[in-house]
Amino acid sequence: MARCSQEYLRILQEDIRLMKILHLVHRFWPYHGGAERYVLEHAIAGKKWGHESVICTTDAWDMSWFVSRSGARIERREDLLNGVRIQRFPVFHPPFQNICRAVTRRFSKCGPDRFYYPNPFLPSLHRWLSVNRGFDFVHANAMPFMLYEGWRYSRDHAKGLISVPHANVGEKYRRVKALHYFDGCQKKILRNSSFVVAQSRFEKELYTGMGIPEERVHISGSGIDIEEFSGSSRERGLKRLGVKEPVILCLTAHSLDRGTVHIIQACRNLLKKGRDFTLVLAGPVLPDAENFIDSEERLSEEFGDRLVLTGYIRKEERADLLSAADIILLPSRLDCFGIVVLEAWISRKPVIGCWSGAMPDLIRDGDNGFLVSWGDTVSLMNRMEILLDNPELREAMGEKGRKDVLERWTWERVTDRFYRRLSQCCADGSSL
């Protein structure tokens, strides 16, 4: 951190009381995902500012555990990670869950958002937060059931609330209806928050359109830890994958909304044109995308060994995987930010993103990457072909993206912006 930032931090710590902050998130470490990493970095950064952080989450590993017993879960109820205490609360699976969910949506307070699929039942956390646990601020993240629990604790015990919905409803001029997301108490919760965190200008417009004052919306974004990518090896990544170059990589939880089908269709067309490459779909494949892949009888014949599905990628494997790639794809309308864009850039790789979420804030189309509309397989194929044919362009886009990350999108810079905003909130008396 620069000397001026250190001095600013010292002054704030002297003037503002230190706080105990509760971070709420639907799923957490050791699972590695965007929202999970966002919360972890903010909790760890709180220590630098002198605050105590506690993270409360569910016992889910797979999202499917939220709505059925078919998914994996984490057995440990408590952990200590980098000085941050983690408490996990078990997801409850009532008999006749679908009927129970329908009834609670209709008759429970805030039911339309708290209990829509895939929000889980979490009665133990609800009971735990009924008691004043000494928290000064609640930092509630990602899913309506967690935002509700944070709001209820904040309201009942007169504490501050930071709401981080991580909401994404598609492209700015082609919005997707977020099913039931704002049908219950969500608008009220956001309006009663000390401030609301948005990941992009598009998301901010969504909240100001609900009547939240502009000055109470903090545009944050996400970040990366540069050190995690310093020892990456392209050769090691290629060897681990067992593939031939060039490599087109999509690293996400694959689903229809994340453009998995569009990627496969665009790559099919490239193969028909005689292009030679390997498509790597890294990360878990969710049921809707899995059903498509399983139903395509000619897929294995068309791709042969040029299509690789890796399954879940551990955090320590990501750097080598990105280093092995030549082009990174994220044509998703579901990601409200897209940390993999930053990871690609710090690895000096070009990206093709979507006109959705924060990607138009990050990617300057034609300069540090390309943007395509969700579902536009023709444009997606065209941009991939341009990059395959131009290694110099790939290198230039990757370098420009890396410069952007270093200037703005490290976790230190992102979390400092957050805690400065929180300090201002406390200083002007607007915390409650």
Task: Give 74-109 as a DSSP string.
Answer: ---SEEEETTEEEEEEPPB--TTHHHHHHHHHHHST
Question: Residue 33's pLDDT is what?
Answer: 84
Name which of 134, 192, 136, 123 is nearest 163 in CA terms. Answer: 192
pLDDT computed for residue 392 by the predictor: 97
Q: Where are the beta strands (DSSP E) in 157-216?
A: 160-164, 170-171, 174-175, 195-198
Residue 187 included in any domain: yes
- Round to whole Å and give the CA distance between 363 and 359: 6
Please check whether residue 171 is in contact with residue 355, taking contact to mean a CB–CB distance below 8 angstroms: yes
What does the pLDDT read at residue 1?
Answer: 42
Token representation of residue 431: 């915390």
Burial 115-149 (b: 16+ CB within 10 A, else e): bbeebbbbeebbeebeeeeebbbbbbbbbbbbbbb
How many domains would you assign to the chain? 2
Tell whether 134 and 261 lie within a shared domain: no
Alpha-helical (H) ranges within 16-87 are: 34-48
Q: How many CB atoms lie within 10 A of CB 78?
A: 8
> Residue 15: what pLDDT?
47
Q: Which two tokens stand for residue 124?
A: 């133990």
Question: Rounded distance, CA 140 to CA 151, Å?
Answer: 8
167 vs 188: CA distance, rounded Å: 15
114 and 217 together in one domain = yes
Tell whether 216 is covered by a domain.
yes
Strands 174-175 and 247-251: unpaired
Among the listed residues 391, 404, 288, the one whose alpha carbon sits nearest the alpha carbon of residue 345: 404
Check: CB of residue 307 under 8 Å from CB of residue 342. no
The answer to whether residues 142 and 172 touch, using CB atoms and an 8 Å cutoff, is no
pLDDT for position 177:
64
Same domain for 168 and 100, yes or no, is yes
Name residue 399's amino acid. E
pLDDT of residue 166: 86
* 396 lies in the same domain as 421: no
pTM attached to this predicted model: 0.84
Backbone angles phi, psi at 190, to 5 degrees: -65, -40
Task: Mention every residue, 6+ apart, whose C-beta is less than 8 A from residue 166.
Answer: 34, 35, 38, 141, 142, 199, 336, 337
d(CA 109, CA 134): 25
Partners of 224 in beta bridges: 410
What pLDDT is stored for residue 9 in this prediction?
Answer: 47
Considering the domain boundaries, does residue 432 fall inside one?
no
In this structure, the answer to whether residues 35 and 165 fall within a common structural domain is yes
Domain assignment present for 262: yes
pLDDT along the chain (432 residues), means of 10: 47 62 96 90 93 97 90 93 95 92 88 88 96 96 94 95 86 66 86 94 90 93 91 92 93 94 96 95 92 90 93 90 97 90 96 94 96 96 97 97 94 94 72 46
> What distances in angstroms separate CA 84 from CA 39, 45, 87, 336, one per listed residue?
11, 10, 10, 26
Q: Answer yes or no: do 388 and 259 share one domain.
A: yes
Same domain, 365 and 335: yes
DSSP conformational letter for 254: B
DSSP letters for 202-245:
HHHHHHHTTT--GGGEEE----B-GGGGTT--HHHHHHHHT-PS
CA-CA distance, 410 to 404, in Å (whole number)? 10
* 177 and 113 assigned to the same domain: yes
Query: Considering the domain boundaries, does residue 238 fall inside one?
Result: yes
Q: What is the model's pLDDT at position 122?
A: 96
Same domain as 363, residue 255: yes
CA angle (106 as vertex; 125, 151 as ends), nearest 5: 35
Q: 270 and 219: one domain?
A: no
Q: Residue 366 belongs to what domain range?
A: 226-408
Tell me, what CATH number does 318's domain have?
A: 3.40.50.2000
pLDDT (0 to 100) of residue 134: 95
Give pLDDT, residue 2: 44
Is 7 found in the same domain as 69? yes
CA nearest to 371, candidates 330, 414, 426: 330
3-state class (DSSP) for residue 279: strand
Q: Please tell me whether residues 239 and 193 are part of one structural domain.
A: no
190 domain-assigned = yes
Q: Is residue 99 part of a domain?
A: yes
Q: Which of 139, 113, 114 is nearest to 195 (CA)?
A: 139
